[in-house]
Structure 1
Amino acid sequence: MTTLAQTKELFRGADAVCFDVDSTVIREEGIDELAKFCGVGDAVTEMTRKAMGGSVSFKTALTERLSIIRCSREQVNKLITDHPPQLTPGIKELVNRLQHRGVKVFLISGGFRCIVEHVATQLNIPLHHVYANRLKFYFNGEYAGFDETQPTAESGGKGKVISMLKEMYGFEKVVMIGDGATDMEACPPANAFIGFGGNVIRPQVKEKSLWFVTSFGELLKELEKI
C-alpha cells in the first residue's frame, strides 16, 4: 500500500507526469462549454456530472452528450476562437519546472483533441504527447460522431494510455494528476495518483486520494524540496 510520503516521493522522482485536462489543466469542462455554446448546456451538464461521478460508463455518457450537442466543425472552431480554454493558475509554471527537470509531460483527456491541442500548444507540450478523443465531421462540416477506437473513448482508457506509454518509453515511475473518477482509476498502471481539487472538488476523489491538492502551487513546492 502506497503512503502519502511514498506518493510525494514518486512525484519528485517521476519519469513522466500525465495530466487530465478538463477541470484540471483548464478551469472548465470542454464538453460543457461546447454544449453551452451550442445552446444545450443544461442537458449536457447533468450527463457530465454522472460521468465524472462514475455512475454511467464513460463511452455511454460521451455518446449521449455528443448526440445532444451535434456540433459542426465551424462551431468547434468558433468556440476555440471566441472562448479559448482558461488555464488553471500555476499549471504553466508546473509544466515548465517538470520539463526543465527532464520529466516527460502528457495530456490524457476524455475531451476533444481539437481543444486539447490548443491547450498543449500554450503549455509547450508536444502534440504527440496528447491523447484525447477525436470528433468526426462530414465533408460539409456537420457532426458525424467520434472516433470510438481511441482508448480515451472508453472507461479505463486513461489507464490503457499509461500502460502504452510505459511500454513505449520504458517509464518506471508515472504519476497521474486529475480531478475525476476516470483519472483515479488509471492508478494502477500509474504508480501514483494525485487528486486535484483546484477547480472542482469531487467528494469520492478527495476521499480516496492519498494526496489531494487544491492548487498547483502545492506541487511546485514539493519539487523545491529536491
Structure 2
Amino acid sequence: MSKKSEIILLNISGKDKPGQTLALTEVLAQYNVNILDIGQAVIHQDLGLGILFEVPVEAESSPILKDLLFKSYEMGLTVKFTPVTEEKYEAWVTRQGKERFIVTLISRKLTAQKLSAVAREIYEQKLNIDVISRLTGRIPLDGQDNAKSVVEMSLRGQPVDMEAMKTRFIEISGSTGIDIAFQKDNIFRRNRRLVCFDMDSTLIQAEVIDELARKAGVYEEVSGITEAAMRGEIEFNESFVKRVALLKGLDEGVLKEVAEALPLTEGVERLFKTLKMYGYRTAILSGGFSYFGNYLKNKLSVDYVFANELEIRNGKLTGRHVGEIVDGDKKAELLKLIAFKEDIHLEQVIAVGDGSNDLPMIRQAGLGIAFHAKPKVKASAQHAISTIGLDAILYLMGFRDREINF
C-alpha cells in the first residue's frame, strides 16, 4: 500500500520582526515541502502566520517539525502543528467554488457592538468570514470629528435569504450608526470606470433652487411647491416649471454669487482627486441647473455635465428653462448614453444621489449608492452612505487609505 501524503498546518504567533517568514520558509525549503496555502497578518506588531504544507512522500515529518520548533524558539515565537487528513483537505478544496461577497463597514468609530451585530447576521445567513481587513489608516485616540473607520470582510457561501439580510443590515445601520455595503466579489468591483453624481445635496450641501429663491425673495413659495412634489401631489417636471417661473427677473450676477458660496460635501475634493488620478470618467447628472454644474466641472475637473439650462435675456432670468428637463428617467438615459460613448459596461458604472429622482440611474448602475438619503430612497438603493463623506465611495471600490492619501 502506497504511503499517503502528510499535510500539516503550521501556525506561528508572536512579536513581529523582519526576517521571520524568511527563516521559517528556509527550514521548509531544506525538505522540499509543497506550500498548499499561506496567510499572514500583523495586528499592532503581533504576528499571525499560517502555512499549510505537504510533506514529500519520500520524507518524514518529524525532522521538519523539530527544526521548525527550534527555529521558532530561537526567534521567541509560539508554534502549533495541526495534522490535516487528505479527506479534510479535499473537502476544503471543493469549497473554493462557492460564491464570494464583500461586506464593507463604514463608520466614524467602529465599536464592538456594531461589529458583533453585523457578524451575527453573517453567521445566521450561514456565510463564512474568510478575511477581515482595515481599509482606513491607523485610528487616533483624540476623537477627531473627521475620523473614519472602515473595515472590509471577505465572505464565502450563499446567503439563506438575501432580502432578509439586506433588511436586517438596514436595521443595524439605523440603530448603530454604521453603513453596511454588501457586494458580490467579482471582476467589476475593482474595475469601475465611470462615476455619475447628482449635484444638489450630493456634491454640494445645498439645494441651488432654494438659494436662488432666497435671493429672489420667493423662498416660501418655492419651498411649498417642493413639499407638494415630495408628497406626490405634483410631478417633478410640473414642480420644476413652477419653481423656475418664480425666479423671473433675478439678476444674472446672482448666479455667480450663489455658485461661489456653495459648500462642497465632505470628501468631495479627495474623491475627485483620486478618481482623476486613477483615470476614472466622471459625470454630473442633475435636475438642477447647468450653470452650477459647469462651475463644479471647472472646480473638480468633471468630464460631463448634464443639467437644466436657465433662460437668460438682457442679464435677467426669464422664468423659463431651455431644452428638455433632466428628470429621473433622463438621468438614467444619460448614464447609459455616456457609458455607451465611453465603451463602458453598465456593471462598471457607479451612480450616486440622494433623492427619489436619482433612483432610476442608481438602479441602472453596477454600483448604485444612496448618499445621505431619506429612508425610502435608502431602502430602494443597492447601497447607502450616511455616516461619513462622499469619499466613502472609494472604500466600496476597494481602495485603502494608503492608495489615496497623496
- Using the size of structure 1 for normalisation, the TM-score is 0.84
Contact kept? 1:38, 1:75, Cα under 8 Å: no
Deviation string 1:47-91 (CA, Å, 9 cap, x unpaired) is: 33444566532211110111122234233234335xx21100101
Counterpart position of 2:380: 208
C-alpha distance in 2 between matches for 1:91 and 1:7: 26
Which amino acid in 2 is paired with 1:130?
V
C-alpha distance in 2 between matches for 1:10 and 1:47: 41
Whose radius of gyration is greater, 1 or 2? 2
| Structure with the higher fraction of residues in helix conformation | 1
Tell which has more relative contact order, 1 or 2 (C-alpha 8 A, sep 6+).
1
Counterpart position of 1:86: 263
Contact kept? 2:245, 2:319, Cα under 8 Å: no
C-alpha distance in 2 between matches for 1:183 and 1:52: 13
Tell me: CA distance 1:9–1:202, structure 2 relative to 1, closer, same or farther (3 Å): farther
Contact kept? 2:251, 2:316, Cα under 8 Å: yes
Shift of 1:44: 1.2
Counterpart position of 1:13: 191
Is residue 134 from structure 1 mapped to residue 316 from structure 2 by the alignment?
no
Is residue 74 from structure 1 mapped to residue 253 from structure 2 by the alignment?
yes
Q: Aligned match of 1:119 in 285, 296, 302? A: 296
Counterpart position of 2:335: 162
Q: Secondary structure at the match of 1:171?
A: coil
Deviation string 1:149-190 (CA, Å, 9 cap, x unpaired) is: 25x1x3411011112112211111211101011111214432
Q: Secondary structure at the match of 1:24?
A: coil
1:163-178 matches, within 5 Å, as 163-172=336-345, 173-178=348-353
Identity %: 24
Query: Which deviates more, 202-211 or 170-179?
Result: 202-211
| Structure with the higher fraction of residues in strand conformation | 2
Contact kept? 2:353, 2:362, Cα under 8 Å: no
Deviation string 1:105-128 (CA, Å, 9 cap, x unpaired) is: 1111111111111122221224xx
User: Structure 2 regions of 5+ residues with no counterpart?
Assistant: 1-161, 167-181
TM-align CA RMSD: 2.6
Is residue 221 from structure 1 mapped to residue 221 from structure 2 by the alignment?
no
Which amino acid in 2 is paired with 1:147?
V
Counterpart position of 2:14: none
Tell me: CA distance 1:142–1:94, structure 2 relative to 1, closer, same or farther (3 Å): closer
Query: Which deviates more, 93-102 or 51-60?
Result: 51-60
Contact kept? 1:20, 1:108, Cα under 8 Å: yes
Counterpart position of 2:202: 24
Tell me: CA distance 1:25–1:11, structure 2 relative to 1, closer, same or farther (3 Å): farther
Shift of 1:216: 2.0
Q: Secondary structure at the match of 1:12?
A: coil
Shift of 1:191: 2.6
Shift of 1:8: 9.6
Which amino acid in 2 is paired with 1:77?
K
Which amino acid in 2 is paired with 1:134?
E
Counterpart position of 2:8: none
Which amino acid in 1 is paired with 2:366?
N
Q: Secondary structure at the match of 2:370?
A: strand
User: Structure 1 regions of 5+ residues with no counterpart?
Assistant: none
C-alpha distance in 2 between matches for 1:73 and 1:174: 35
Q: Secondary structure at the match of 2:324?
A: coil
C-alpha distance in 1 between matches for 2:221 and 2:281: 37
Query: Which deviates more, 216-225 or 28-37?
Result: 216-225
